[in-house]
Each structure stands twice: as C-alpha cells, then as structure tokens.
Structure 1
C-alpha cells in the first residue's frame, strides 16, 4: 500500500537504500569510495564550496546506482526470461552509473589535486628519482622475481598464467619508475591507470585470477621501490 504518512515514506526510502546496499556489490563499493573521498576532503580541509561540490557529485553517483537497481528489478519482474530489449534497458541504466562515476572522478580530482599533489611529491622525493640504469635494473629484477615465484609455485609460464601475473608486475614496475622519474602526480596517475588496464585485461582473458594479478602488481611496485632506494643510497 502507498504510504500515507511522511515517516512511512522515509522508512520505505531507507528500505530501498538498504536493499540496494545488501544486494548490489557496486553500491557497497560506491559507499566505500564516498567514505574515502569525504574523509580525505575533511582531512585536507577543502573549502565549503568544494565540499559541497564533492557531496553533490557523490550523491549523484549513489542516486544513479539506486535508479539502476530499480530499473533492473522492474525489468526482471516484467521479463524474467532473456530478452534483447531487457538487456538494452539494463545496459543503458548501467551506462548512466558509469557516466555519473566518471564525472564524479573528474570533479574529485580537480578539487583534491591541489591538496594532495604536494604530499605525493614529498613521498616520491623520500625514495628518490629513478635513474635510467635504475629503471632498467628494476624491470629486469621484476622479471627475475616473477620467474622465481612461478617456478616455486609450479604453475604457469613466464608469459602466461601462474603466480604472480608477469604482465601486471612489469606494468606496475614501469608505472612506478615513471612516477619516480617525473614526480608529476598527473603523469603518475595516468601511468597507474594504464597499469590497471593491462592487469584487468589478464582477468578478462581469464589467464589470471584476481589474486594473481594483485600479487603481480605488488611484486612490480615493491621490487621497483626497493631497487630505486638502493640506487639512491649508492649514488
């Protein structure tokens, strides 16, 4: 029955939000990301106007995910069997969430960048700038480490399968070296985005599991940081 009192309407709305959080993993991730972004905004002390923009953008993403879930439920109710038009409806709704999330990411970057960039440069400066030789040695050491780890686990080959993912390890090693060389936050961010895309492709091709890709990313990053630190100490 349609709620007749305001408090009943509010309870229904809250139940809808709880249902979405309980059943949709993407909604849980959106809430987690919102918590991180809002906390970061408070810690760096953004202006009231900037905080308002971030809050509005976050709310828009959550709204889009709620609407997407509502459309999915209605489509499943009307068309429980597979239908091409039902797929289109769900894909378009999911596309709306993606557009909202992309716009929010851009806004969050533009607002928080000026606060986080000095901290980013300071952290990179603590390790040092990677030399040309250091970069080459880092990649070689990452490859050797990957081969050793794969030989110990007895799974996969140097170029396919096994623990850890060699593609992810090399991609994150290169991204880390570029970050040290440039010490530019935007360049660093874009390089790590490319590294994530390379790693994700291994999942899409079903060559590696998420655990193997994450281990590869950690291997590439940690080995490169260690080699760069050693070169700085020796230099």
Structure 2
C-alpha cells in the first residue's frame, strides 16, 4: 500500500537504499568512493562551489545505481526467464550508471587534481631522477627475482600462473620507472592505471589469484624503488 505519512515514505526510501547497498556490490563501492571524496575535501580545503559540484556528481552516481537496481528487480519480476529484451533493459540501466560514473570521475579529476598533483609531483621530485642504467637494471632484477621465486614455489609455468605474477611485477616496475623519470603526475597515473589493467587481466583469465597479482605488483614496485634510490645515492 502507498504510505500516507511522510515518515512512512521516508522509511520506504531508506529501505530501498539499504536493500541496494546490501545486495549490490557496486553500490557499496560507490558509497566507499563517496566517503573517500568527502574526507579528501576536508583535507584539501576545496571551495564551496567545488564541494557542491562534487556532491552533485556523487549523488548522481548513487541515483543512477538506485535506478539500475529498480530496473533489474522489475525486469526479474516481469521476466523471470531469459529474454533478449530483458537483457537490453538491464544493460541499458547499467550503461546509465557507467555514464554517470565517468562524468563523476572527470569532475573529480578536474577539481581534485589541482590540489593533489602539486603534492604528488613534489613527492616524485624528492626521490630524485634515476639514471638510465638504473632504470634498465631495476627491470632486469625484477625479472630475475620473479623467476627465482617461481622456481622456489614450483607453481605454474614461467609464463603462466605461479607466485608471483610476472606480468604484474613487470608492469608495475615499468610504471614506477616511468613515474620517477617523468615526474609528471598525469603520466604517472596513466601508467599505473595501465599496469593495473595488465594485472587485472591475469585475474580475468584465471591465470593468477588475487594474492599472486598483489604480490607481483608489490615485488615490482618495491624492487624498482629500492634500486633507483640506490643508484640515485651512488650518483
């Protein structure tokens, strides 16, 4: 029955939000991202206008996810069995969430990058500029260490599976080297994003577990940082 009191309507709305957060992993991720953004605004001291724009963007993503869940529930109610039109309805609703998320990401980048990038660039500058030889040696050491670890664990093959993920280690080693050589925050973020995509592909292909990928990423990043810092000190 349709609620007649405002408090009853509010309770129904809250129940819908709680149901979505409880059943939809993406909604929980959106809430977590919103929490991170809100905390960041406090530390970065953004302007009132920037805070309003960020709040509207985050609210739009949450709204789109709520509508997506509503569409999915209605489609399942009307068409419990598979139907091409039901798939189109669900895919379109999910596409709306993706569009909203991309728009919010762009808005967040345009606002927060002005506060974060200068600090990030300063941190990269504090490490110093590695030598060309140091960059090459660090990548080779990462490859050798991965091979040694794979030999000791006797899991998978040299190019597929095993602990740690060689693809993740090498990808993050290169991303670390590029970040320190360019000292450009945008280039650094893009290369790290690319390394993350390479690592994620190993999970999608069921070649590595999450533990193996994370260990590979840490191995590549840690060894590269250590070698480049040593070369900087030696120089």
Q: Normalising to structure 1: TM-score of the pair?
A: 0.97
Residue aligning to 1:112: 112
Per the TM alignment, residue 220 of structure 1 is displaced from its structure 2 partner at its CA by: 1.1
Over residues 147-182 of structure 1, what are the superposed CA-to-partner deviations in whole Å (9 max), with x where a residue is unaligned? 122122211122111111111111111111100001
Q: Map of 1:1-235 to 2, 5 A cutoff?
A: 1-235=1-235
Per the TM alignment, residue 126 of structure 1 is displaced from its structure 2 partner at its CA by: 2.4
Q: Normalising to structure 2: TM-score of the pair?
A: 0.97
Larger deviation: 117-126 or 24-33?
117-126
Find the aligned partners of 2:75 and 2:210 in 1 and give their Cα distance: 31
Find the aligned partners of 1:87 and 1:155 in 2 and give their Cα distance: 40
> Is contact 1:146-1:158 (8 Å) kept?
no
Find the aligned partners of 2:214 and 2:84 in 1 and give their Cα distance: 35
Report the secondary structure of 2:207's partner residue.
coil
**Gap runs ≥5 in structure 1:** none
Find the aligned partners of 2:174 and 2:58 in 1 and give their Cα distance: 32
Per the TM alignment, residue 233 of structure 1 is displaced from its structure 2 partner at its CA by: 1.2
Find the aligned partners of 1:88 and 1:107 in 2 and give their Cα distance: 28
Alignment coverage as a number of residue pairs = 235
Runs of 4+ displaced beyond 3 Å: none
Find the aligned partners of 1:32 and 1:140 in 2 and give their Cα distance: 38
